[in-house]
Amino acid sequence: MRKQIYFLVIVFSLVLSSSLYSQTGWFEITSGTFENLRGVSFPANNSAFLAGNAGLLRYTTDGGFNWVTSGFPVTTANSCVFFLNSSTGYVGNVNQKVYKTTNGCQSWVEQTTGGPRAVTSIHFSSANTGWLGDFYGDLQKTTNGGANWDILSIMPGYNSKVFFINDFYGWVIDNFGYVRRTTNSGNNFTTISISNDTLSGLHFLSSSLGFVCGDSGRVFKTTNGGLNWTLLNTGVTGKLNAIYAINPNKVIAVGNNGLVIETANGGTSWNSQIITNENLNSITFTSNGSYGLICGNSGKLFRTYSFPGSGCIGSGNNPVGYPFYTFYMDSKTDMLYTAEEIIASGNTSSGNIIKLGFFIITPQNQIMNGFKIFMQNTSLGSINSFLETGWYQVFDGSYAVPGSGLQYINLQYPFYWDGASNILVRICFNNSSYTQNSTVAATSSAGRVYHQHQDLTNGDGCIDITTGTNQSYRPNICMVFDISTGTGNNPAVIPDKFSLSQNYPNPFNPITNIKYQTPKNSFVTLKVYNILGKEVATLVNDNKPAGFYTVAFNASSLPSGVYFYKLTAGEFTDVKRMILVK
């Protein structure tokens, strides 16, 4: 009864928390710092850069999974960042300098600007032509990659921000509500006052279509290059700091106190959400609009669902305790995701899955010992029991939920999805203690989750939990595919010979993986025998196309001892020895 009452309190508080802090579309990731992040640049799918206080400059080369600190030459605040590509970029600093790298942040060259003013904005329209704004409202230009900067114009106000779509068409805004426009590379300007409030962010899609945001929740739109502006009804009054137009219809702005607003119809109507309590300072997307990042104060960093080589399934925010059900010592969860869902998430072809991600609502740092993940391709459209055959083990060790937001688990062994089958995922663990429960975001999906949790003092949840119940909500999941190389359990890569590998681990208790390969379509049998030569298990008995395969062998029902496994494929036969130690 104690557990039941306590669990109800937890669930109620989680439901309330989820309703207050909906995170549809954006999930927090670890930036590795608590400094205020003031600018972000995303020049390629895998390369992104963060600038912040105390000379902070961090970068990622894997799409945001890991961030590295650059050895930046100064400790004063970096206010803005712009990268042309993964190697060449510029950082503006409050010390009135610009810093340039041409080798992906490995080294930096200091550049002197055209005046002793803190840099507030920087943008390059081509390899050598760049523009910057500063605290005193200047617009500065370089035509030699930043070696020299010249002041072209001074805005009526302060804190000028710049945006150029090419070397000729560009716009500047300030905190007095002015917009200044040039169509001839800064030789002449047209100035218009569009607001009595501060303007903080701007983004243009073409020489005619653009958006500006600022204080009091105001967003302005122009369709004639900035000659005229329309104030849009965003429905919010909070301060907006940055704006990004993915296409003419989809525009997103971010602001103070975690405010994010978005339109899907060019500004006719807007939806808003709060994703943090901290101020959000910058937003950017890759050039194709596929992947986005938002950064803010206290190191807050958010990204969109999908990232390079990844796809996410499920958008609900219903909190569920599985698959990390640490309120009990042992847990076992099977989750089914269909091929149609995987394809709709953006992964349209077969490949190796190397990470699984879950959207954590409330984390608990309980270590899950004996933590295992199994996967398999399947034709099943629903599940109502624990399936005990056909599994491929992808993780075996310990795991603790590291925090809230989208959290990824790196698979120890890649899993090959064949591009057509549904995928069944099992997560289980075997603990000797329990604590409060982590919860994950889930979406209604009847018949696709089977789960059980128990306190097994002397048992293993992965083995001894054999029955459970169907659950109404399925955890949202992100599957990250290896966009480079690898085989995993891949039948699409053709080996040049038959082979049977030594099982791993060996000795084992009670699960081990057995790998084999076939160079051509063959009828394959893989059987296990005890020391007396008696067959104790049939792992494979089917026609298999050419490829690499891995099979998980669960010996939980067998006594300790020496066993043999035999592969027969056409005329090929091989036998190997393994040891079970309980």
User: How does pLDDT run across 56-65, given as a tens digit for each residue?
Assistant: 999 998 777 6
Q: Which parts of 403-493 fold into alpha helices (H)?
A: 461-464
Judge whether 128 lies within some domain: no
Domain identity same for 438 and 555: no
Count of CA atoms in the C-beta half-sphere (13 A) of 426: 29
Place 305 in a pLDDT band, splitting at 50, 70 and 90: low
User: How does pLDDT run across 338-347, given as a tens digit for each residue?
Assistant: 999 998 877 7
- With residues binned 3-state (H G I as helix, E B as strand, rest as coil), the percentages for the chain, rounded to 5, are 5, 50, 45
Judge whether 38 lies within some domain: no
Residue that finishes a domain, picked among 446, 481, 516: 481
Comparing C-alpha atoms, which of 56, 47, 55, 121 is closest to residue 88? Answer: 47
Helix (H) or strand (E) holding 340: helix 339-344
Asked if 159 contacts 118 with a C-beta cutoff of 8 angstroms, the reply is no
Cis status, amide bond into 505, omega within 30 of 0? yes
pLDDT above 90 for 306: no
Sheet of 271-274, strand order: 240-245, 251-255, 259-263, 271-274
CATH number of the domain residue 339 falls in: 2.60.120
Whether the model pTM is above 0.75: no
Asked if 565 contacts 551 with a C-beta cutoff of 8 angstroms, the reply is no
Comparing C-alpha atoms, which of 301, 275, 438 is closest to residue 360? Answer: 438
CATH number of the domain residue 525 falls in: 2.60.40.2550
DSSP summary character for residue 7: H
* Tokens coding 89: 């970029």
Domain identity same for 349 and 323: yes
Comparing C-alpha atoms, which of 300, 303, 290 is closest to residue 357? Answer: 303
Cis status, amide bond into 507, omega within 30 of 0? yes
More confident residue, 486 or 367: 367
Helix (H, G, I), strand (E, B) or coil at 258: helix
Cα 204–chain centre separation: 26
Domain identity same for 460 and 548: no
Asked if 498 contacts 572 with a C-beta cutoff of 8 angstroms, the reply is yes
pLDDT above 50 for 228: yes
Place 87 in a pLDDT band, splitting at 50, 70 and 90: very high
User: How does pLDDT run across 249-303, given as a tens digit for each residue?
Assistant: 989 999 999 999 999 899 999 989 898 999 999 999 988 776 789 999 999 998 8
Judge whether 377 lies within some domain: yes
Average pLDDT over residues 544-567: 86
Q: Which residues pair with 154 in a beta bridge?
A: 138
pLDDT score, position 406 = 76
Domain identity same for 327 and 414: yes
Domain identity same for 510 and 571: yes
User: How does pLDDT run across 380-419, given as a tens digit for each residue?
Assistant: 999 999 998 888 888 888 899 988 777 889 888 888 888 8
Name the residue with tokens 């920087």: 122
DSSP assignment of 115-180 equals SSS-EEEEEESSSS-EEEEETT-EEEEESSTTS--EEEEE-SSSS-EEEESSSS-EEEE-TTSEEE
Place 487 in a pLDDT band, splitting at 50, 70 and 90: very low
Domain identity same for 434 and 325: yes
pLDDT score, position 476 = 94
d(CA 38, CA 295): 7
Average pLDDT over residues 298-324: 81
pLDDT score, position 179 = 98
Judge whether 74 lies within some domain: no
Q: State percent of the chain over pLDDT 90.
A: 62
Residue that finishes a domain, picked among 451, 481, 511: 481
pLDDT above 80 for 97: yes
pLDDT above 70 for 330: yes
Judge whether 56 lies within some domain: no
Asked if 446 contacts 384 with a C-beta cutoff of 8 angstroms, the reply is no
One-letter amino acid at 520 equals: K
Judge whether 348 lies within some domain: yes
Cis status, amide bond into 545, omega within 30 of 0? no
* Mean pLDDT taken over the chain: 88
pLDDT above 80 for 4: no
Judge whether 465 lies within some domain: yes
User: How does pLDDT run across 14-57, given as a tens digit for each residue?
Assistant: 333 333 333 346 778 889 999 999 999 999 877 899 999 999 99
Asked if 268 contacts 16 with a C-beta cutoff of 8 angstroms, the reply is no
For the chain, how many structural domains are there in total?
2
Judge whether 522 lies within some domain: yes
Asked if 334 contacts 425 with a C-beta cutoff of 8 angstroms, the reply is yes
Domain identity same for 541 and 470: no
* Tokens coding 4: 């039941």
Place 486 in a pLDDT band, splitting at 50, 70 and 90: very low
Comparing C-alpha atoms, which of 157, 155, 169, 156 is closest to residue 208? Answer: 169
* Tokens coding 68: 């590295």
pLDDT score, position 393 = 85
Asked if 278 contacts 297 with a C-beta cutoff of 8 angstroms, the reply is yes
Domain identity same for 569 and 448: no
User: How does pLDDT run across 183-222, given as a tens digit for each residue?
Assistant: 999 999 999 999 999 999 999 999 999 999 999 999 999 9
Asked if 53 contacts 75 with a C-beta cutoff of 8 angstroms, the reply is no
pLDDT score, position 405 = 74
Domain identity same for 404 and 521: no
Q: Which residues pair with 574 in a beta bridge?
A: 567
Asked if 199 contacts 161 with a C-beta cutoff of 8 angstroms, the reply is yes
Domain identity same for 373 and 433: yes
Average pLDDT over residues 171-178: 98
Residues 6+ apart with CB under 8 A from 293: 40, 42, 48, 64, 283, 284, 285, 301, 302, 303
Average pLDDT over residues 550-554: 80
Helix (H, G, I), strand (E, B) or coil at 18: helix
Residue 499's CB is within 10 A of a number of other CB atoms, namely: 16
Asked if 461 contacts 451 with a C-beta cutoff of 8 angstroms, the reply is no
Domain identity same for 474 and 505: no
Length of the chain: 582
User: How does pLDDT run across 452-484, given as a tens digit for each residue?
Assistant: 999 988 888 899 999 999 999 999 998 888 654
Residue 20's CB is within 10 A of a number of other CB atoms, namely: 8
Domain identity same for 346 and 429: yes
* Tokens coding 469: 């119940």
**Cα–Cα separations (whole angstroms), residue 17 to 11, 12, 275, 298, 303:** 10, 9, 12, 21, 20
Residues 6+ apart with CB under 8 A from 447: 336, 381, 382, 383, 384, 470
One-letter amino acid at 128 equals: N
pLDDT above 70 for 232: yes
Q: In which domain, by residue range, is 466 found?
A: 311-481
pLDDT above 50 for 423: yes
pLDDT score, position 25 = 64
pLDDT score, position 14 = 34
Expressed in angstroms, the distance from the first to the final Cα of the chain is 35
d(CA 160, CA 495): 60
Asked if 44 contacts 86 with a C-beta cutoff of 8 angstroms, the reply is yes
Name the residue with tokens 């073409």: 206
